Amino acid sequence: MKISSGLVIAFCYFLSPVQANVKINKDQFLATKDYIGNSMWLMGKNGVFIYSPDGKDKKVSIDGSAICHEEPDFKGSGYYSPCRFYDVMSDGKKYVWASLARGVAKIDLFDINTGAVVGSFDTCMSPSSLEFHPLRDEVWVRCSDMDANSTAPTQLDVFSASSPSGVIQTDILTDERALKEGLSSKGYSVIDNTLGDVGFITDTTLPYLFKVDLSTKAIIDKFEMNPPTNGLEKTAYSPVNKHIFIRSELCCTCGFEGSDLGDSCGRYPGSEVSPVTGAFAGETGVQGTCGSSCEGKPDIDTIGVYEFDTGNETIVATHLMAEGIGGDPYPSPDGKYIILLGRNGGKTIRIIEAGEPGRPSTKVFDVELDFNRSGYEDKSVSMDFAFVKKNGNTNIIFPSGTEHKIAIVDITSDPMETRYFTFNDDDFIPGRAPHGRYRRIEWAIGTNYVWVTDSSLDETYVIDFVKEEVVTTLTDTDVSKLLSVQNYEYLRQFEMQKQVVMGMTRGVSDNGKDSSALEVSAIVLGTIAIVVGIANYIYMMKMRKLFIESQASPDEPIALVKNLEQPLDDDSAVVPSVN
């Protein structure tokens, strides 16, 4: 016998009135909140604002006073609340996670479906990065305000993604081996489900990659970098070949005649260093500095990025920019590509395609960007990008930090094609901190829109990158992070339900004469059910409105229903873009 779609629809619609006959209580929280669905989250000085992908509909506003924490000022004389977001991420099923402040041991959580504030949870000091491990259902936090002799909680923390209030305290910093190694909290971590039960961490002051057991929360091995380096900086992981790309941290001399940087050490006084590159390579205890001041300098920043194979636990290659200097590695969402951004004024950007496991990634190509470099020749003009997969093409969109312009690079075309779009004809305002170079860009997943911030004008632009036009301009937006958010678990469940219904409608037919009559009856019944369902929906919406307006007593029985589903398009469930 064949079960018709009309009969299935009838069954589903007749369920609604039964489910609606419940009390108004706290279990109806979601029934009184709109399901925000695919959305763009703006996080910055004024708080959190959630918009539709085209920016025309503001769905949720959360004032900064409700979520931001006071942090110590740089002079050490007091506290202030900048509401500056260091890292944000979505677990794709329940929460949006945010680390907000330097010198504060808190993580803020928001409900992914409604944007409501869940709360602030204790963690290690100054949380700087967040990583989700979907198989372990954990969120790992890397913090950056600890030292090896600290007795405070560790600099690497972990939360249950489903129950963040549960206590799972790590002890890596206070672990005996970590103390012996002199491990600090300045560095990065690599946590990914393809690595299984282990992760890796770096330290900006040590030339080692540390291997961590995620279950015992202890360091189980370390790997020395070769060629030698002073420390390790930013990391990018590719699940395609299970390789980690690690930026070398180098020291250079300064503060005396003939030094690498000249007579001045810059903003901070120099200290004793032991360079491994440059004119003073191999010397110890010379005056100098380490880190960003030495990056992008010819003859100093010559090691670049290590490519570490996690399978054989060995370095298989090193990578430099086209100019022969190092760059910061960033992965594409699927890990197929690693992008190197260097201090070269944005003249070139190197793209590395992940190779075979255990072998060097040799397929490398460079993108030359026609951005204004005047005055920024040794700085990073483009500091963010968005990967966009649309209609079978892979595009990388780079925003200029010195102009109101984006570059749209189609890396699937042969040869690569680059086109430019100017989204604001006003003069660019140079010199205003942070000089516009910290533009953020984010793809509104499954759409033709990318969002671009402007720190020099406090504006945010929503750009249709297909039509190359601005569809929305938001003003007075001091944004530090953009995040495209979707509940992928909900989409998966919705898709599975559709498949079940389709399976029922493809039931086995008995080829009997009654089959046609049964189908006609089912269609009639389904039509009646639809009419009843619509009437029930209208009634429920009316009662919901009355509930919200009158704030009915929790003990008063009332019929209520809330449709949490929204129409979905085929492009909604796709891989998120990179920040």
Tens digit of each residue's pLDDT (9 = 90 or more) over 207-221: 999 999 998 888 899
Whether residue 402 is contained in a domain is answered as yes
Other Cβ atoms closer than 10 A to 25: 9
User: Which of 437, 456, 485 lies at the terminal end of a domain, its last residue?
Assistant: 485
Which range among 168-172, 271-275, 371-375, 574-578 shows the weakest confidence by mean pLDDT? 574-578
97, containing H or E segment: strand 95-99
Residues 378 and 438 in one domain: yes
Q: Among candidates 296, 264, 255, 257, which has minimal Cα distance to 277? A: 296
Residues 514-528: pLDDT tens digits?
455 556 566 666 666
Is the pLDDT reported for residue 319 higher than 50? yes
pLDDT at res. 540: 60
DSSP count for the chain of H helices, then E strands: 4, 38
pLDDT at res. 515: 52
Residues 14 and 62 in one domain: no
User: Which of 485, 502, 529 lies at the terminal end of a domain, its last residue?
Assistant: 485
Instruction: Give me the mean pLDDT over the 540-560 stretch.
Output: 49
Beta bridge partners of 138: 133, 160
Q: Among candidates 185, 211, 186, 188, which has minimal Cα distance to 200? A: 211
User: Residue 308: what residue type?
Assistant: F
Instruction: Give me the mean pLDDT over the 343-349 stretch.
Output: 87
Which residue is it, tokens 């206070």?
174
124 — pLDDT class (breaks 50, 70, 90): confident
95-99/243-249 β-pairing: unpaired
What is the CA angle 496-498-501, rounded to 5?
110
Whether residue 508 is contained in a domain is answered as yes
Residues 460 and 502 in one domain: no
8 Å CB contact between 405 and 423? yes
pLDDT at res. 211: 95
Which range among 20-24, 298-302, 456-460 shows the weakest confidence by mean pLDDT? 20-24
pLDDT: is 292 or 306 the higher one?
306
pLDDT: is 558 or 148 the higher one?
148
Q: Among candidates 62, 57, 94, 86, which has minimal Cα distance to 486? A: 94
Angle between helices 488-505 and 5-20 (to 10 degrees): 130
pLDDT: is 109 or 511 the higher one?
109
Question: Each residue of 531-553: b (16+ CB within 10 Å) or e?
Answer: eebeebbeebeebbeebeeeebe
Residues 480 and 378 in one domain: yes
pLDDT: is 572 or 29 the higher one?
29
Residues 13, 526: Cα–Cα separation, whole Å: 8
Residues 393 and 421 in one domain: yes
Residues 459, 453: Cα–Cα separation, whole Å: 6
pLDDT at res. 168: 67
Which range among 246-260, 368-382, 560-574 shows the weakest confidence by mean pLDDT? 560-574
Q: What backbone phi and psi angles, to 5 degrees, belong to 228?
A: -60, 150
Is the pLDDT reported for residue 158 higher than 60? yes
Q: What backbone phi and psi angles, to 5 degrees, belong to 35?
A: -80, 115
pLDDT at res. 26: 66
Q: Among candidates 310, 299, 301, 313, which has minimal Cα distance to 335? A: 310
Residues 429 and 458 in one domain: yes
95-99/198-202 β-pairing: unpaired
Instruction: Give me the mean pLDDT over the 308-323 stretch.
Output: 97
Is the pLDDT reported for residue 559 higher than 50? no
Instruction: Give me the mean pLDDT over the 384-403 stretch.
Output: 90
Is the pLDDT reported for residue 547 higher than 70? no
Q: Collapsing DSSP states into helix, strand and coil, what is residue 552? A: coil
Instruction: Give me the mean pLDDT over the 150-172 stretch.
Output: 73
pLDDT at res. 557: 39
Which runs of consecutive H residues, i.e. helices, occur in 402-560?
488-505, 514-550
76 — pLDDT class (breaks 50, 70, 90): low
Q: Is the peptide bond before 227 cis (omega within 30 degrees of 0)?
A: yes
Residues 454 and 506 in one domain: no
Angle between helices 5-20 and 514-550 (to 10 degrees): 30
Residues 379 and 478 in one domain: yes
pLDDT at res. 442: 97
Residues 541 and 449 in one domain: no
Whether residue 435 is contained in a domain is answered as yes
pLDDT: is 170 or 488 the higher one?
488
Whether residue 205 is contained in a domain is answered as no
Residues 526 and 542 in one domain: yes
8 Å CB contact between 40 and 53? yes
Residues 379 and 446 in one domain: yes
Which range among 46-50, 143-147, 158-162, 464-468 shows the weakest confidence by mean pLDDT? 143-147
8 Å CB contact between 537 and 16? yes
pLDDT at res. 110: 96
User: Which of 460, 485, 510 lies at the terminal end of a domain, its last residue?
Assistant: 485
Domain range enclosing 459: 47-67+374-485
Q: Among candidates 486, 394, 380, 397, which has minimal Cα distance to 441? A: 397
344 — pLDDT class (breaks 50, 70, 90): confident
Which runs of consecutive H residues, i.e. helices, occur in 399-508?
488-505
Average per-residue pLDDT in the chain?
A: 81
Residues 410 and 440 in one domain: yes
Is the pLDDT reported for residue 16 higher than 50? no
Instruction: Give me the mean pLDDT over the 454-467 stretch.
Output: 88
Whether residue 196 is contained in a domain is answered as no
pLDDT at res. 558: 36
Contacts of 85 (CB under 8 A, 6+ apart): 43, 44, 98, 99, 100, 480, 481
pLDDT at res. 122: 84
pLDDT at res. 77: 58
pLDDT: is 539 or 110 the higher one?
110
Whether residue 63 is contained in a domain is answered as yes
552 — pLDDT class (breaks 50, 70, 90): very low
Whether residue 139 is contained in a domain is answered as no
Q: What does each C-alpha distance from 417 to 15, 339, 354, 368 come to in angstroms?
A: 54, 17, 21, 11
Beta bridge partners of 213: 198, 218
Is the pLDDT reported for residue 315 higher than 50? yes
187 — pLDDT class (breaks 50, 70, 90): confident
Residues 292, 235: Cα–Cα separation, whole Å: 15
pLDDT at res. 577: 44
Quote the pTM value: 0.81
**DSSP-derived secondary structure letter, 489:** H
Instruction: Give me the mean pLDDT over the 427-434 stretch.
Output: 62
Q: Among candidates 441, 443, 486, which has minimal Cα distance to 577? A: 443
Count CA atoms within 13 Å of residue 18 on its CB side.
5
Share of the chain above pLDDT 90, in %: 48
Number of domains in the chain: 2
Whether residue 358 is contained in a domain is answered as no
